[in-house]
Chains A and B, each alone.
Chain A
Amino acid sequence: MAKALQDIGPREYQYGFHDVEDYVFKSKRGLSREVVEEISRLKGEPEWMLQHRLKALAIFQRKPMPTWGADLSEIDFDSIYYYIKPADRQGKTWDEVPQYIKDTFDKLGIPEAERKFLAGVSAQYESEVVYHSIREDLARQGVIFLDMDSGLREYPEIVKEYFGTVIPAADNKFAALNTAVWSGGSFIYVPKGVHVEIPLQAYFRINAENMGQFERTLIIADEGSSVHYIEGCTAPIYSSDSLHSAVVELIAHKNAKIRYTTIQNWSKNVYNLVTKRAVAYEGATVEWIDGNLGSKVTMKYPGVWLMGERAHAEILSVAFASDGMHQDAGAKVVHAAPNTTSNIVSKSVSKGTGRTTYRGLVKVYPGAVNVRSNVRCDALLIDEESRSDTYPYMEIEEEQVAIGHEASVSKLGEEQLFYLMSRGLTEQQAALMIVNGFIEPFTKELPLEYAVELNRLIQLEMSGSVG
Chain B
Amino acid sequence: MNEQRFFAVRNLHAAVEGKEILQGVDLTINPGEIHALMGPNGSGKSTLAYTLMGHPKYEVTAGEIWFQGENIVGLSPDERARRGMFLAFQYPVGVPGVPLATFLRTALKALTGKEVSALEFRKRVREEMQRLKMDESFATRYLNEGFSGGEKKKAEVLQLALLRPRLAILDETDSGLDIDAIRIVADGVKQVLGPDMGVLLITHYENFLKHITPDFVHVLYRGRIVKSGGRELADRLQEEGYDPLLAELGLVAGTAAAAGGER
Contacts and interface: CB of A to CB of B under 8 A. Distances in A.
Interface of A: 1, 413-416, 418-427, 429-430, 433-434, 436-441
Nearest to A432: B106
A422 B95 CA distance: 14
B38 interface: no
Name, among B78, B81, B96, B107, the residue most crowded by chain A CB atoms within 10 Å (CB to CB).
Answer: B78
Given A427-B76, A436-B97, A440-B98, A419 B92 contact: yes
Interface in B60-105: 76-78, 80-82, 86-87, 89, 92-93, 95-98, 103
19 contacts: A413-B93, A415-B93, A418-B55, A418-B56, A421-B76, A422-B78, A422-B86, A423-B81, A423-B86, A423-B103, A423-B111, A424-B78, A424-B107, A424-B111, A427-B78, A437-B95, A439-B97, A440-B97, A441-B97
**Nearest 9 A/B pairs, CB to CB:** A437-B97, A440-B97, A424-B110, A437-B98, A421-B77, A423-B107, A424-B81, A424-B111, A421-B78
Interface residues of B, number: 29
Interface in B94-133: 95-98, 103, 106-107, 110-111
Given A421-B77, A426-B78, A437 B107 contact: no
Contacts, number: 79
B110 A426 contact: yes
Contacts of A421: 76-78, 81
Contact of A429 (B77, B89, B92, B110): B110
A413 B57 CA distance: 13
A420 B77 CA distance: 9
Contacts of A427: 76, 78
A8 B78 CA distance: 18
Contacts of A424: 78, 81-82, 107, 110-111, 163
A423 B159 contact: yes
Contact of A414 (B54, B57, B96, B103): B57
A27 B132 CA distance: 70
B53 interface: yes
B57 to A, nearest CB: 7
B242 interface: no
B95 A433 contact: yes
B163 A437 contact: no
Given A414-B57, A433-B103, A420 B95 contact: yes
Contacts of B163: 423-424
A1 B78 CA distance: 12
Name, among B80, B81, B86, B92, the residue most crowded by chain A CB atoms within 10 Å (CB to CB).
Answer: B81
A416 B95 contact: yes
Given A422-B53, A423-B78, A434-B95, 18 more contacts: A413-B93, A414-B57, A420-B95, A421-B76, A421-B77, A422-B81, A422-B87, A422-B89, A423-B86, A423-B111, A424-B110, A424-B163, A427-B76, A427-B78, A429-B110, A437-B97, A440-B96, A440-B97
Contacts of B159: 423
